[in-house]
């Protein structure tokens, strides 16, 4: 019996984030994100993504910016109807600045399909690596919501305002229990 490696498109990624091919920025940005303050107190940002094959999700993560230890962040996954599939814990941005911070969650299986990655920030003092889209009116499919209690069971987002220029933070989920 011989082993044949699967074709590249069938190999699961280690991480899926808001700048991954499977997310809204799949059209190819070349500028790197930078350390920016969270845009609005208690803002939730919903970013669309898709999976072609199911995966077990082990952890959520975000890339802390230069200022940590001042605000909480929470990451989760929602269906296209904005029903929560899984929500991580509200976690103080902490540790070393300019490093990835993980939220260990109870592992769960996420089947193939279209979803939203959501992230909530409690304030505007902590920084997170982000990219200003430069697109007035926002990129297609990105939604905002304000909720002081973190990520809700059912989201009720609004379209990005026509006068808003969205800032997209670098966050996502890990499909491996430990770093590769």
Tracing tokens 């899926």 back to the chain, one arrives at 16
The pLDDT of residue 176: 84
How far is residue 44 from each of residues 24, 55, 83, 91, 160, measured CA to CA in Å? Answer: 16, 24, 14, 14, 11
Region 32-58 average pLDDT: 89
Give the pLDDT band of residue 162 (cuts 50, 70, 90). low
Report how far residue 19's alpha carbon sits from residue 25's, in angstroms, rounded to the nearest whole number. Answer: 5
Q: Would you say 130 and 170 are in contact if contact means Cβ atoms under 8 Å apart?
A: yes
The whole-model pTM stands at 0.85
The pLDDT of residue 172: 93
Tokens of 2: 């011989």
The pLDDT of residue 4: 47
Region 112-118 average pLDDT: 94
The pLDDT of residue 3: 42
The pLDDT of residue 69: 86
Region 127-141 average pLDDT: 72
Region 158-177 average pLDDT: 77
Per residue, the 3-state secondary structure of 51-90, as one string, reads ECCCEEEEEEEEEECCCCCCCEEEEEEECCCCEEEEECCC
Nearest Cα to Cα of residue 76 among 113, 100, 52, 110: 110
Spell out the domains of the chain, with CATH numbers in brackets: 11-174 (2.60.120.380)
Is residue 19's pLDDT more than 70?
yes
Report how far residue 167's alpha carbon sits from residue 33's, in angstroms, rounded to the nearest whole number. Answer: 10
């Amino acid at each position: 019996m011989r082993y044949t490696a699967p074709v590249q498109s069938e190999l699961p990624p280690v991480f899926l984030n808001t700048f991954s091919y499977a997310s809204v920025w799949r059209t190819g940005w070349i500028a790197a994100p930078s350390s920016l303050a969270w845009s609005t107190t208690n803002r939730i940002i919903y970013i669309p993504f898709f999976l072609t094959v199911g995966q077990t999700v082990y952890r959520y993560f975000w890339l802390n910016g230069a200022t940590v230890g001042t605000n909480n962040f929470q990451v989760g996954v929602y269906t296209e109807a904005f029903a929560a599939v899984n929500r991580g814990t509200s976690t103080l941005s902490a540790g070393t600045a300019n490093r990835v911070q993980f939220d260990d969650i109870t592992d769960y299986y996420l089947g193939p399909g279209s979803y939203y990655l959501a992230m909530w920030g409690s304030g505007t003092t902590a920084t997170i690596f982000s990219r200003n889209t430069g697109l007035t009116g926002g990129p297609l499919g990105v939604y905002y919501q304000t909720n002081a209690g973190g990520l809700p069971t059912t989201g009720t987002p609004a379209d990005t305002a026509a006068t808003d220029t969205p800032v997209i933070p670098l966050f996502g989920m890990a499909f491996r229990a430990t770093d590769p």
